[in-house]
Structure 1
């Protein structure tokens, strides 16, 4: 296969070219963007948009971690001792175990690291580009020269771009220029090709961040051809050597085991009066090896990698492994409404105007097909016969001005595609709320392009700001008039209005004179807002005013927002419906079953938020919005002191008109109640709350890059149900790790107890008789402990996992119950493994122990070899049966309903079946049994083995029954 040649991107001084020249140079269209086919061709031609040598998974580091581990160190010491004492069979097997574990561990961990890196890249900064005439979100590494990039507040810019549309854009370029102040961008062509980077104001550069404003640009350079690529620096490094709290705890466990192994070696030599011999040394090695759960590290890695993959499949990208462990402890979820609990498929369905009353708008989605009907002063939730169809020609000037405000104070774009596959279909680019307003304007016959064509020229823009909840634009007409249009939350707009529009008149709000208008008009407005909001509609207020510029003031950069957004004229209200997602109600109900409380923190009106909250069961259907403490406005919540908040019987379930600071205050209140919080966010200002939460969850579709970088988890579908699925996966993973650690450690406890107890069984020379050979111990760990433990790590979630309350956030793996179980199971297995060995040796073989039966076979060792085989068979079958017990910490593992679910976990039942079958060659292949495993084929001993298995199963069932009845 030929080697792919990546073409070097030409160094063209794009800042010196006009927009049309740049467009021609890169063979693109600022209106239509590239086609998907052309983008793929350019990706092959120029390579991916990423920096070389900026990290990635290092195979040698992963391999070193397999070797430089305390548990492996014990095996290496044992291996050296085995060869030093001429025990070549044992030494060979230990070498094989070390190499096999290293290879398997390396493969598992390297694959897991690669998966994690790929997933991190998926959640890394993304770019909005126009492809096939549609706005689409692509990973930064898929951006190519010629792409049309859409840049918004909070973005990390994905490539170098020549700007062709700019509104109040400021970027932080300190990474490149060292300049601490944001740089304000414009479209002016620059004549000098040698202009310093900091003065190339018509360009933006890869890895710099947008401080405010928005823009569109043509991608000119990607990857190593960008300015940041030229100095070989990257802003977004990810620490792939991150260790989670779980991994740190397991490392401590490994050191504890290592110390315990050393102590056990001392005990062995102490029992033999510190007399050294080859047999004593080998026995000490065996005891030390028996303490090592050899597959522990690899199984933890595999389980976490499997969990990460499952979450990615469920559309939740894990950015920090520690969040996997935290998810299972979540007690409260603070979620946004729009796009998370709802579909974010907004459509304007109602309007209200002073003096006129309510209007209904027909049609769905962003297809601009529908009509406007007048309903009167009472809003009807369903179409009525007495409705009157309204057009711009038949409507009032007030309606026309309101529709102009909806269309012009709006950055969304609506158009039909020319793409061959979607020709004639309507597509939309922009915020869903603004798209809904734009569709409304098209339905009414006053689309934005037509208004622009008829003389409206955009002069300045004040983008939506979550702190003021408003957006304003300044337009100039062909006649020389200036108009300011403002839209936003009613509470934040009405306070900036001094008049309201009634027909062609502008009437003062403070001293109404008209007979047709109620005396307290502000209360009338708020009553209308409530009427719309109670229908679950998101309510926006439209306003405007004529503007007279002050001579000499720069209208683009010199206007003060406070001054612009004052003395406005109230026009009317628009009600926008955003239906709840189908999955939201079941997901919230799952949360209640799991003991998780859901809070909705939204920027919407309290009545709107409460209506949706009722639909998805966050609050009861009969909740009175005005009197219930479960629904609260952000103003009220923010005005409360910590003492007042802590005195509340319950924190509010719905907080409306929320600001970023409100979210942080809510998290702090939850933390003071010792609760564990997951918080969703999508904006730049959500970063503090995402970092303050125990688990920060960013929106992958609507979220800003800054929010994604601050989050632990990124949702690729922005869906609340995905959060619940992620919590379920976090619980599953935690409990599965608990299960396989219990399985491994109880098996190791059993092995060490058997070996230490056997110190009392001595031959004629006073040396201890091995109940298990070194090879048998290693083989038991490798083939009978590790494979079922892997199966337990992959165990599907229990049906009860999301019907139990969250575990305590400070609850580790080793709870009192888990430690008690490990000891009880370990001791019982040790007794039932040692019993067949003792019974065969002292009852059936009359205590005949031969001479030096630990290292080689002779006829006098027949009894020892048969007893050893019986003990080994019992130990292996017990550890395999124990895997069934470990599937549930309290419920029986042997009921038919549990056993029939084994087919869902092929890894577990295959490990049990194959482990049982492997016993046959071990016992009955000549040479392998005597020379390697140091035991013989058995016959009648199987009766003792199965008796041990039966007694153990009965004991475990009785033990679990007692736990179910006595433990909460």
Structure 2
């Protein structure tokens, strides 16, 4: 389909209400057959009309457009103008260097974005690579992108639905639609026709939707919509229609710099022409062009892109894929992270860790994740559970048989699981106690007669089984508040104690609360003996008959354990001044417990605390129902926004982001479902899940977590801080050189020869060398400065503290002034103290006998300027703290004196040393290769002037350290 589609494809109307049509009508509309599907001969002709089943923009990458995009930048435009002027006046060297820099920047940016888009393309293909369809009466696997409306698709547990479809067969078919509707409980699908068209998406139980997943069961459906016409496609379209071209603060800062430099360059040209009384010749034009180019940091864009590209590669190694380079800028200044719980802070592996039996009390289970080795022991006595005991055996049988999940070994011997996560946890529990479903059915002879699937309306499920002795037993499980009313008593050891529902609630509900406080999801297990005469099948009993007069067996607590690294990562955020919020769909007690474990809220925080003064602390945790009812004014009046919001909806996430923006915070939001895409788009940095995230969420995001791990977010923020700090370092270094050279060259126009013409203090090639080869290699080194281990111990920078904050501008103009003055002093001392003030005659174009001292003075100025700028690059490693002592840490407020340079006390940045050595070698060549020195650079080799260069370096270091001393005294950290 390509990146661009026909307008009529995009502006579509709402499709017909297929959920209100019977199956025959749907088949007639799509000219298909319920049993045989579409005939193979019709496939290609139909695809010509419908296109491929893919979201807009997922059909490929346009390299040409991506490359051209790299040139759409104000600073590049200025360089382009300078290159054109240089070509016109046949200044081939300058023109070639500028052209090379422009294309280097474009190639680096193109490769980075192209690789990111290629990676995104592979991530899209991972979502649902193939679908099983019926065509011409035969089952066949085809790529999901080749589905067309009218196809009959076959679905089984674990499959990803490839397109929107109308269900035509369903057997215990539960579909996880959380990514589309936000509902965490799978929806049980039916084939019945719904009576009205005005039915919410989540209640269209006879429809399936693209990218949703079958939690269990199997079914068959007819495709009704593909690609951008699906429900996911409609959301994707809204995202694509939104403004995606907003300039970030860094981009705006670069644009403003480009405008300022352009105006400054024009002024410089006018000043140079004015000093020659507008008697403009080739040399005046060449000097004016060179000086104007000296005011433009040619290497800035290339170094900026290189720095971001290296940062992106470093993040990729840490499992964070950056889709947009500009997101690195905001990532380093994030003040608040809004994270989901399941799979991000936790392992997304539901584990049954505790259970309660009326006659023995609480027990704990060893073994984590999907390990099937473990044992049950009493929490107080440590005694191992006797699984042969009647009550315990029935309890374990319920967990294993009232369960549709599967736990098995694959061909390589690895444990694989399939089904609902909660049921998997219970099945693993039964396997640990050697009573898994396969053992009971294949070895002991238990048979499943009927299943009554989980119903979100009654929040319970049950099964009817036949025991090896021929008796019939019903097992059930569900939410305690929905299961207890159907019970008539409790199993107490070998005996059944009959009692009222009220009495059972008094006994059981406190135990439920105890489990919930531990962050566990609590389910109740029940059973009853079914009396039957004659053969029994799945139609013998109605559900109501099975689920009445049940006997309570016990409670299970299921837990999604936090990742080991989550607690460390959250504490690292706290030290860095970053606030972490958990926005989850879980119960408020479960969310509170997990938040305590990972240090989002204090370890002593108790949701049920009744003590005086505890009411204020409860605002740390809030239900989405309460938060959503608050007006904007009420939210803004809160002293602090909640750290945990439970039972969270997509609208709640957007409301939280908006509240953070009103407080001038910079937010990062995680999400995986399609319904999370609005909040991902709304946040400053949208972070999608790579493993469980939907295509639409990934497309709406700035960063994708390959491993869905919260700790990866923290690593990405640390890298973002490093990248932005490095950008500030090399920008100060590069633009300082521009300011210094511009000051030096304009002031140097006051040096005049006997004829009254200005004597150029630096030749055009010296200017270009200093501006490009002296500053750019060290700038690249500064862009690769290693991470400072203490950068995550200071608060994030404020939104208004951008690239050209006041402190950075002061650095640029102060150091630029020092560099310019030192250079002028070198030239003046050479000419007046040793040259007698004789500037020769016509020394700008070529060498003659009267120009010896001018050429030596140029060599001295050129050498001192290069060495001072190289020293300045080391100064920029730390714009605040001394170069000659270890770093001055904000947390300690004291210095540690040392007799060796700070550069040798911290992690080495060898790129900076290599850049400096490279520049010095080239400088020596330009000074001492005769033809190169005299004809090209218009300078002579120096001898005693090296002492003056050394003094210049010492003077610069003194002025730099004095400035840093006062900066530390005046400017807050």
What's the TM-score bracket when you normalise by the shorter of the two chains? Answer: 0.7 to 0.9
Contact 1:126 1:705 in 2 (8 A): no
Structure 1 residues 835, 809: CA separation in 2 closer, same or farther (over 3 Å shift)?
same
1:876 aligned partner: 866
Distance 1:445 1:686 in 2: 40
Contact 1:123 1:317 in 2 (8 A): no
Secondary structure of the corresponding residue to residue 448 of structure 2: coil
Whether 2:783 is the aligned partner of 1:777: answer no
Whether 2:588 is the aligned partner of 1:602: answer no
Deviation at 1:793, TM superposition (A): 1.3
After TM superposition, list the pairs within 5 Å mapping 1:622-661 onto structure 2: 622-627=604-609, 628=614, 629-630=617-618, 631-634=620-623, 635-638=625-628, 640-661=630-651
Whether 2:595 is the aligned partner of 1:613: answer yes
1:956 aligned partner: 960
Distance 1:504 1:74 in 2: 84
1:437 aligned partner: 426
2:946 aligned partner: 942
2:727 aligned partner: 737
Distance 1:155 1:712 in 2: 26
Distance 2:945 2:425 in 1: 79
Superposition CA RMSD, Å: 5.1
Whether 2:742 is the aligned partner of 1:755: answer no
Deviation at 1:353, TM superposition (A): 4.8
Which sits farther off after the overlay, 255-264 or 530-539? Answer: 530-539
Secondary structure of the corresponding residue to residue 279 of structure 2: coil
Q: 1:585 aligns with which of 544, 567, 576?
A: 567
Secondary structure of the corresponding residue to residue 498 of structure 1: helix
2:59 aligned partner: 54
Q: 1:528 aligns with which of 508, 511, 522?
A: 511
Distance 1:616 1:170 in 2: 27
Whether 2:173 is the aligned partner of 1:167: answer yes
Distance 2:601 2:954 in 1: 52
Secondary structure of the corresponding residue to residue 678 of structure 1: strand
Q: 1:494 aligns with which of 474, 477, 481?
A: 481
Structure 1 residues 674, 281: CA separation in 2 closer, same or farther (over 3 Å shift)?
closer
After TM superposition, list the pairs within 5 Å mapping 1:1-400 onto structure 2: 54-59=59-64, 62=67, 65-66=70-71, 70-71=74-75, 91-121=91-121, 123-124=123-124, 126-127=126-127, 167=173, 208-210=210-212, 244-353=248-357, 357-372=361-376, 375=378, 380=379, 384-385=382-383, 388-391=385-388, 393-395=390-392, 400=397
Secondary structure of the corresponding residue to residue 640 of structure 2: coil
Distance 2:319 2:156 in 1: 24
Whether 2:709 is the aligned partner of 1:711: answer no
Contact 2:78 2:258 in 1 (8 A): no
Q: 2:811 aligns with which of 799, 821, 837?
A: 821
Deviation at 1:227, TM superposition (A): 8.1
Whether 2:807 is the aligned partner of 1:802: answer no
Structure 1 residues 351, 521: CA separation in 2 closer, same or farther (over 3 Å shift)?
same
Deviation at 1:831, TM superposition (A): 0.5
Contact 2:691 2:707 in 1 (8 A): yes
1:579-635 deviations in Å (ceiling 9; x for gaps): 432222221221111111223333444444444433333233333332342553415
Distance 1:428 1:435 in 2: 7
Contact 1:116 1:305 in 2 (8 A): no
Whether 2:458 is the aligned partner of 1:454: answer no
Deviation at 1:890, TM superposition (A): 0.3
Structure 1 residues 640, 844: CA separation in 2 closer, same or farther (over 3 Å shift)?
same
1:426 aligned partner: 415
Distance 1:807 1:456 in 2: 64
Distance 1:785 1:611 in 2: 54
Contact 2:523 2:557 in 1 (8 A): yes
Whether 2:902 is the aligned partner of 1:912: answer no
Deviation at 1:542, TM superposition (A): 5.2
Distance 1:244 1:633 in 2: 33
Distance 2:312 2:572 in 1: 22
Secondary structure of the corresponding residue to residue 503 of structure 1: strand
2:839 aligned partner: 849
Distance 2:430 2:36 in 1: 30
Structure 1 residues 622, 171: CA separation in 2 closer, same or farther (over 3 Å shift)?
closer
Deviation at 1:652, TM superposition (A): 3.3
Contact 2:265 2:293 in 1 (8 A): yes
Distance 2:564 2:57 in 1: 44
Deviation at 1:269, TM superposition (A): 1.7
Contact 2:460 2:482 in 1 (8 A): no
Contact 1:264 1:284 in 2 (8 A): yes
1:926 aligned partner: 930
Q: 1:416 aligns with which of 398, 409, 424?
A: 409
1:177 aligned partner: none
Structure 1 residues 241, 691: CA separation in 2 closer, same or farther (over 3 Å shift)?
closer
Structure 1 residues 209, 794: CA separation in 2 closer, same or farther (over 3 Å shift)?
same
Secondary structure of the corresponding residue to residue 455 of structure 1: strand
Distance 2:156 2:561 in 1: 28
1:936-965 deviations in Å (ceiling 9; x for gaps): 111111111111111111111111111112
Distance 1:769 1:569 in 2: 105
Which sits farther off after the overlay, 666-675 or 473-482? Answer: 473-482
User: What is the number of equivalent residue pairs in this alignment?
Assistant: 850
1:698-746 deviations in Å (ceiling 9; x for gaps): 3222334444344332212222211111111111111111111111111
Secondary structure of the corresponding residue to residue 874 of structure 1: helix
Secondary structure of the corresponding residue to residue 598 of structure 1: strand
Structure 1 residues 739, 497: CA separation in 2 closer, same or farther (over 3 Å shift)?
same
Task: In structure 1, list runs of 5 or more residues that go unmatched.
Answer: 1-12, 23-47, 132-138, 175-181, 188-200, 506-512, 548-554
Structure 1 residues 834, 517: CA separation in 2 closer, same or farther (over 3 Å shift)?
farther
Secondary structure of the corresponding residue to residue 768 of structure 1: coil
Structure 1 residues 282, 672: CA separation in 2 closer, same or farther (over 3 Å shift)?
closer
Contact 2:173 2:188 in 1 (8 A): no
Distance 2:396 2:906 in 1: 66
1:118-152 deviations in Å (ceiling 9; x for gaps): 34335546326899xxxxxxx99999xxx998787
Distance 1:952 1:347 in 2: 64
1:860 aligned partner: 850
Contact 1:354 1:502 in 2 (8 A): no
Distance 2:752 2:144 in 1: 70
Contact 1:166 1:186 in 2 (8 A): no
Q: TM-score, normalised by structure 1?
A: 0.76
Secondary structure of the corresponding residue to residue 686 of structure 2: strand
Secondary structure of the corresponding residue to residue 321 of structure 2: strand
1:325-347 deviations in Å (ceiling 9; x for gaps): 22122212222333322333442
Secondary structure of the corresponding residue to residue 389 of structure 1: coil
2:11 aligned partner: none
Deviation at 1:906, TM superposition (A): 2.6
Which sits farther off after the overlay, 951-960 or 236-245? Answer: 236-245
Whether 2:876 is the aligned partner of 1:886: answer yes
Which sits farther off after the overlay, 660-669 or 319-328? Answer: 660-669
1:699 aligned partner: 689
1:377-402 deviations in Å (ceiling 9; x for gaps): xxx2x5524x6513475547676546
Structure 1 residues 743, 483: CA separation in 2 closer, same or farther (over 3 Å shift)?
farther
Which sits farther off after the overlay, 729-738 or 901-910? Answer: 901-910
Contact 1:126 1:158 in 2 (8 A): no
Task: In structure 2, list runs of 5 or more residues that go unmatched.
Answer: 1-29, 40-52, 132-142, 148-152, 181-186, 193-204, 531-537, 886-899
Distance 2:658 2:529 in 1: 45
Contact 1:414 1:429 in 2 (8 A): yes
Distance 1:893 1:112 in 2: 34
Deviation at 1:881, TM superposition (A): 1.0
Contact 1:163 1:204 in 2 (8 A): no
Distance 1:657 1:720 in 2: 20
